Amino acid sequence: MEDVILYEVADRIATITLNRPEQRNAQDQPFLELLDSLWTKAAEDKEVKVIVLRANGPHFSAGHDLSESEANAKSYAEISGDFRKTGLLNLHNWEAKHYLGFSRKWRDVPKPSIAAVQGACIAGGLMLAWPCDLIVAADNAKFSDPVVRMGIGGVEYHAHTWEVGARKAKEMLFTAGALDAATAERLGMVNRVVPTDQLWAEVDKLAQQIAKMPPHALAMAKRAVNVTTDIMGQQSALQACFDIHQLGHASALVQNDYMVLMGLEELKKA
């Protein structure tokens, strides 16, 4: 299982590498729990000053694993239960921990983090990249959240408005379209765009530059920016949007006994 995510520390930099390229680094429950444990490991390691999140293969992440695997079937049975008796409580609590909760936790790790994104970064993939402090994108990167096709208003960590602005967030969601790397940089979601074959080298160079800074000053700088967006209402908005997300699941469960409405096969191909 541990081979699906690789972890190494060198030169005060912890590198977490998503390693399910055949599945486009899609995320099932064991994958997310392992990823969270590695974030915690890096956060608690006093030798680590910077955390890098990257991915093997042509794509950063296709988001939630939508395959009909044994692990997914088991997770769905545990999550959904008999919703007519329990309501959405099981699903709500599971997603609050594994989606919203993990992303919030990674965002608040008191060490600088950098995401290196190439290829597709779809839906749940955004929930891995957005919590990072900096995003460096390959010139072939595309960012999208097409889950409106499935009757859901957006992924569980709904930071779209903060990342790209209200109007672009609406366009992104309404059309299920993708932002290319250049557009993402122009909107401020991405810090810089580099040729695909230079992505990891550029991120390593940036991480080494940051790692030379005093760790307490880095932590305080990060805290200052994060608390500013908190005061502006980001955390309250994320929680409210997560609750709205659950209404999408409720609507789907009432209509077809499954947590999403339609478009699952199309989304798999996206």
Query: 207: Cβ–Cβ under 8 A, 6 or more apart, which residues?
Result: 13, 50, 52, 114
* Confidence (pLDDT) at 76: 58
CATH of residue 224's domain is 3.90.226.10
User: What's the predicted TM-score (pTM) here?
Assistant: 0.92
* Confidence (pLDDT) at 208: 99
Strand pairing category for 13-18 and 5-10: antiparallel
Q: Are 134 and 113 in contact (CB under 8 A)?
A: yes
* Confidence (pLDDT) at 34: 98
**Rounded distance between C-alpha atoms, residue 41 and residue 85, angstroms:** 39
Q: Could you tell me the two tokens for 191?
A: 């810090």
Q: What is the pLDDT of residues 48-90, one digit of tens each?
A: 999 999 999 999 999 999 875 555 555 556 666 666 667 688 8
Q: What is the pLDDT of residues 122-172, one digit of tens each?
A: 999 999 999 999 999 999 999 999 999 888 999 999 999 999 999 999 999
**Rounded distance between C-alpha atoms, residue 146 and residue 8, angstroms:** 33
Q: Could you tell me the two tokens for 14?
A: 């912890």
Q: What is the pLDDT of residues 11-53, one digit of tens each?
A: 999 999 999 999 999 999 999 999 999 999 999 999 999 999 9
pLDDT reading at 193 higher than 60: yes
Range of the domain at 177: 2-269
Residue 137, Cβ density class (10 Å: 0-12 exposed, 13-18 middle, ≥19 buried): buried
The count of domains in the chain is: 1
* Confidence (pLDDT) at 98: 96
Helix (H) or strand (E) holding 116: strand 113-117
